């Protein structure tokens, strides 16, 4: 077998060869890239966390392939800029380095808030799964997502039963587009205020009494949850569109209750 | 505490009370419902498998809640009809029983094909993750999805290396809308024919030699995979739109390579 | 490059060559093998489900490798025998075909029970994740596992609160060794009877009232759950050892409460 | 309903009441607790990451319940000490605060190493899933776990094929007990040196040529992988016992190849 690459010559660039199948590719790139990042939080501190990235660009029909290593290089060079303000720069860098017209970035990360118990004030760290989904394609588009675990207590169960009411952990996923800056913390607080009760990392007995009674006094179906969060988001002028999904891990069933509301205010 | 429900009287129907928040709900129902189902396959046999269902309807703004138990009742009554032909009946039943204008069904299930090794003919069962996503909302819409694991061998690695070429398991997800019946098996075969090589449950040594050489002779980037599958789907008149995603679990990286092409032929 | 394998000659059997590293391998084989199976249930019917198999044997130090395709062949030949009675035959076949002294089989599968609502009798299908773990190594050992989702209601929350009590879905995992036949259904029923309340696929309003009040009247910590299940298993002479794990998806926290009890009665 | 708790009086401590079922609980506590932590790495820097904790203690038969909030308090107070040296202090604190004889801690976390490409030296971050499993129960026991993704190239496929050889991503899980300090980085390097080739975050074309040829020149079955890692661990006197599991995501099958070796050197 002959040497495929002559010594001293650059290696063949297969990706750069001409493709004749005449099919443009909407998105091509890397997925499942884990990377340590720092996120700016409302308390004005850099919060260290781990991002799980998808980075893609479009590929015109006449190129055989993109250059995968460049996505990682761009990410390394911009790791300090994974923020609402920094992401547009990453997309611009991706478009330039990959010679593309559009670029997309998706990053999922756990985000922590210090949270104090409602009566004793005992504090701990609450984790929330968050995500930024951004696209530069002529114009710029950015979606923020938070998943907020809450307590939901069933209004029907409360009403028909002599004592007690079934309740459970529910997960509220909110995606928003905004025209002005909104903190992840603000979205989280809107959701928690809409629930039967928010969750807490540390609860002493006086706190547990408080959350139990608060949930009992504020029953919520999944239907109520999506509506209450929708009302909160409708009332915030910075938010221009949203999608709300609620999934209750019903304590009386092995399956979940689910509701969804989407709205474009424009 | 007084009796909330008088003896002999029906229990209060909270869900049915009037809601004044003026927010219609796009989708409400149940999710994560596991149910044994039978799927008709091309060999004209009922294949027993397990479905994971999401069932939802819309809810007009003036109702407080939907009736979750009815989704399960409808599913029980129609468990023999989880097929391309039977799903419209389930959606009609959901709309009637829930008094709704739109109904949605999504069911994910493992699907098996008997598959013979390419040289020795030794047969085994190959599993594929499939999904039907259907909606009745005035008109009827139905998407079929298959996830097909394949071998992909890197054209660049082959070209620049003196010996060998890195290859790996890749996952091709295809979603299609059709205007005529298409078997899941047909979609699976189109994808496998587009890959460096298909996967097999049982391979004896002569088969392993065959698949190794076949993959080496048919290198594919993720970009090639989406294009080859796109060409196959373009050539089938029954298919009216599609989305193809490929994710290679790169054997040289801890992250994946990804590509996506979407097309509406209409 | 010369032909590595002469025409008409069998292909080289690398696995069968002598290994000189002097390291015996405890277990070698295949994992993540999905296969349609039928499980015999107490209602004396074959229940069709999907198994996820790990099959391994030991490998003496002097062999370089095992023969992976034979595991799949054995599985294909014995697919009708995936039962408490049939598994020993599969292990014997593995030992013979792979020329091994020990063989192990692990199969996880969803198992369904028809279950009627407690008041209205409305029936549906309840799914349970089950597992058999078997080993033939001179003697024969077999562990049965069931994961039973239940309702747990917090005794502390009930006691200290003026109204209501937090409750949630909990998951009880039971592993047992037995000296006489025990149905999966029996283990499931023991666990459900020990909980604040069992879960149901379909609940109409009179049923929801019943399960809400039953849970309120039977509060259980994770500590109570493991103890109640332990008492039930202690009282059954067929069971010779057990491990019980309970994980409550606390409705007031983002984390879970956990307890574990292990006992060998012998 | 009367006030359950008199004003001014402390709330009833149900957990502290006497249990008469006579069943001691092996482990009780919290699971799935996400918490930001800092891990000391060999480059002598604090690495910020996210821990997923299980914290438990034993519970004598005469107590009804443990006090869940105290686990979170202990974790908050010791969050800077999640290290090989700090974990014994956390266990001691758990035993004291919970008045227990034994305490257990398990923490899983992603760990990053800066890694340079083999030819061009282009650097990026490689993620590894790690875990510490520790128990104080009279004596102290600690297990370190790393999961290292690698390339494995099939010796049989290489030998019998005219060209190419199937290869794939494999995952090597190593658990060790040591009598002297061993860095996670050292375990990772031992595993990568034993593989057909290590993985890299960034590979330019000269690097891709290098890793392709290196893997082709160093074929490894799962059997070879466990043996090579065993030889490396046998040769390190600091390591007193180990368990090695390898799972290859075979590029020619939908299932995985698996091997396991366990050894107690003592």
The pLDDT-based confidence of C85 (bands split at 50, 70, 90) is confident
Rounded Cα–Cα distance for residues D39 and D111 (Å): 8
| Confidence (pTM) | 0.96
DSSP states along C8-51? TSPPP-GGGSB--S---EEEEEEEEEEEEEEEE-TTS-EEEEEE
Mutation target for B interface from C68, C72, C169: give the one with most B CBs within 10 A: C72
Mutation target for B interface from A25, A51, A71, A242: give the one with most B CBs within 10 A: A25
C120 at the B interface (CB within 8 A)?
Answer: no
Q: What is the largest CA-CA distance in chain D?
A: 86
In a domain, D40, yes or no: yes
CB contact under 8 A, D166 and B255: no
Per-residue pLDDT, C79: 79
Q: What is the mean pLDDT of residues A205-225?
A: 98
Q: Which residues of B touch C121 (CB under 8 A)?
A: none
Rounded Cα–Cα distance for residues D32 and D54 (Å): 6
* Of residues C25, C232, C241, the one with CA closest to residue C145: C241
Helix (H, G, I), strand (E, B) or coil at A77: helix
Tell me the average pLDDT of chain C. 94
Q: Which residues of A touch B170 (CB under 8 A)?
A: none
Residue A159: closest CA among chain C residues belongs to which residue?
C209
Q: Which residues of D194-220 are buried (b: 16+ CB within 10 A; e: fewer)?
A: bbbbbbbbbbbbbbbbbbbbbbbebbb
Rounded Cα–Cα distance for residues C227 and B178 (Å): 56
Q: What is the mean pLDDT of residues B119-139?
A: 96
Share of residues in chain B with pLDDT > 70 (%): 97
Q: Which residues of B41-68 are buried (b: 16+ CB within 10 A; e: fewer)?
A: beeeeebbbbbbbbbbbbbeeebbbbbb
In a domain, C37, yes or no: yes
Check: CB of residue C229 under 8 Å from CB of residue C190: yes
Check: CB of residue D155 under 8 Å from CB of residue C14: yes
In a domain, A14, yes or no: no
The pLDDT-based confidence of C4 (bands split at 50, 70, 90) is low
B252 at the A interface (CB within 8 A)?
Answer: no
H or E stretch at D254? none
Distance from CA of B265 to the nearest CA of C (A): 36
Q: How many residues does this entry show for chain C?
A: 266
Check: CB of residue C83 under 8 Å from CB of residue C114: no
Per-residue pLDDT, C1: 38
Q: Which residues of B touch C47 (CB under 8 A)?
A: 36
Rounded Cα–Cα distance for residues A257 and A237 (Å): 30
In a domain, A9, yes or no: no
D159 at the B interface (CB within 8 A)?
Answer: no
C201 at the D interface (CB within 8 A)?
Answer: no
Rounded Cα–Cα distance for residues D42 and A174 (Å): 40
Q: Which two tokens stand for residue A72?
A: 């990682």
Q: What count of CB pairs under 8 Å joins A to B?
A: 158
What sign results for the dihedral spanned by CA atoms B80, B82, B83, B84? positive
Rounded Cα–Cα distance for residues A110 and A127 (Å): 6
Rounded Cα–Cα distance for residues D46 and D53 (Å): 19
Given a cut of 60, is residue B4 above it in pLDDT? no
The pLDDT-based confidence of A2 (bands split at 50, 70, 90) is very low
Tens digit of pLDDT for each residue in A39-69?
Answer: 888 886 889 999 999 999 999 999 999 999 9
- Residue B174 φ/ψ, nearest 5 degrees: -120, 130
Q: Which residue has the higher pLDDT, D174 or B266?
A: D174
Q: What is the mean pLDDT of residues A101-119?
A: 97
* Of residues A222, D103, D54, the one with CA closest to residue C256: D54
Check: CB of residue C78 under 8 Å from CB of residue C96: no
CB contact under 8 A, C231 and D161: no
Q: Which two tokens stand for residue B153?
A: 């061998």
The pLDDT-based confidence of D2 (bands split at 50, 70, 90) is very low
Check: CB of residue A215 under 8 Å from CB of residue A196: yes
ipTM: 0.94
Q: Using CB atoms, which residue from D49, D73, D124 is nearest to A50?
A: D49
The position carrying tokens 């994808």 is: B191
Tens digit of pLDDT for each residue in B26-80?
Answer: 999 999 999 999 888 888 688 999 999 999 999 999 999 999 999 999 999 987 7
Domain count, chain C: 1
Share of residues in chain D with pLDDT > 70 (%): 97
**Containing structural domain, residue C249:** 27-264
D252 at the C interface (CB within 8 A)?
Answer: no
Tens digit of pLDDT for each residue in C99-150?
Answer: 999 999 999 999 999 999 999 999 999 999 999 999 999 999 999 999 999 9
Beta pairing partners, A260: A245, B27
C143: number of CA atoms within 13 Å, CB side? 19
Using CB atoms within 10 A of its CB, is residue D47 exposed (0-12), middle (13-18) or buried (19+)?
A: middle
Q: Which two tokens stand for residue A74?
A: 């761009």
Share of residues in chain B with pLDDT > 90 (%): 85
Q: How is residue A80 annotated by DSSP? A: G
DSSP states along D190-243? HHHHHSSEE--S---HHHHHHHHHHHHHS---HHHHHHHHHHHHHT-TTEEEEE
Rounded Cα–Cα distance for residues A241 and A264 (Å): 4
A204 at the D interface (CB within 8 A)?
Answer: yes
In a domain, C1, yes or no: no
In a domain, B167, yes or no: yes
Helix (H, G, I), strand (E, B) or coil at A84: coil
Q: Which two tokens stand for residue D28?
A: 């009780």
Q: Which residues of C touch D226 (CB under 8 A)?
A: 23, 25, 28
In a domain, C9, yes or no: no
Tens digit of pLDDT for each residue in C39-84?
Answer: 888 886 889 999 999 999 999 999 999 999 999 999 999 877 777 7
Given a cut of 80, is residue B160 above it in pLDDT? yes
Tell me the average pLDDT of chain A. 94
Residue D15: closest CA among chain C residues belongs to which residue?
C156
In a domain, D66, yes or no: yes
Tell me the average pLDDT of chain D. 94
**Chains within contact range of chain C (3+ C-beta pairs < 8 Å):** A, B, D
Residue D125: closest CA among chain A residues belongs to which residue?
A35
Q: Using CB atoms, which residue from A163, A166, A208 is nearest to C252?
A: A208
Rounded Cα–Cα distance for residues C173 and C147 (Å): 4
Check: CB of residue C134 under 8 Å from CB of residue C104: yes
Q: Which residues of B touch A24 (CB under 8 A)?
A: 261
Given a cut of 50, is residue C164 above it in pLDDT? yes
CATH number at residue C133: 3.10.270.10
Tens digit of pLDDT for each residue in D32-84?
Answer: 999 999 888 888 688 999 999 999 999 999 999 999 999 999 999 988 777 77
Portion 129-158 of D in contact with A at CB < 8 A: none
């Amino acid at each position: 077998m002959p040497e495929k690459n002559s010594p001293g010559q650059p290696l063949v660039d297969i990706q750069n060869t001409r493709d004749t199948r005449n099919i443009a590719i909407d998105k091509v790139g890397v997925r499942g890239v884990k990377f340590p990042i720092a996120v700016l939080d409302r308390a004005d501190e850099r919060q260290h966390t781990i991002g799980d990235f998808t980075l893609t660009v479009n590929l015109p029909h006449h190129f055989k392939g993109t250059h995968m290593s460049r996505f990682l290089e761009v990410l390394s060079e911009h790791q300090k800029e994974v923020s609402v303000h920094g992401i547009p720069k990453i997309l611009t860098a991706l478009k330039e380095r990959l010679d593309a017209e559009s670029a997309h970035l998706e990053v999922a990360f756990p985000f922590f808030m210090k949270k104090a118990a409602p009566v004793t004030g005992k504090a701990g760290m609450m984790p929330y799964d968050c995500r930024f989904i951004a696209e530069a394609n002529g114009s710029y588009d950015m979606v923020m997502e938070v998943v907020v675990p809450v307590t939901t207590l069933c209004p029907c169960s409360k009403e028909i039963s002599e004592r007690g009411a079934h309740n459970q952990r529910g997960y509220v996923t909110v995606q928003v587009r905004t025209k002005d800056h909104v903190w992840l913390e603000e979205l989280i607080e809107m959701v928690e205020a809409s629930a039967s009760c928010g969750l807490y990392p540390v609860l002493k007995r006086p706190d547990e009494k408080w959350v139990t009674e608060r949930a009992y006094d504020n029953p919520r179906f999944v239907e109520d949850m999506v509506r209450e969060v929708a009302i909160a988001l409708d009332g915030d002028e910075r938010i221009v569109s949203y999608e709300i999904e609620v999934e209750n891990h019903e304590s009386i069933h092995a399956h979940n209750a689910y509701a969804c509301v989407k709205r474009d205010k424009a």
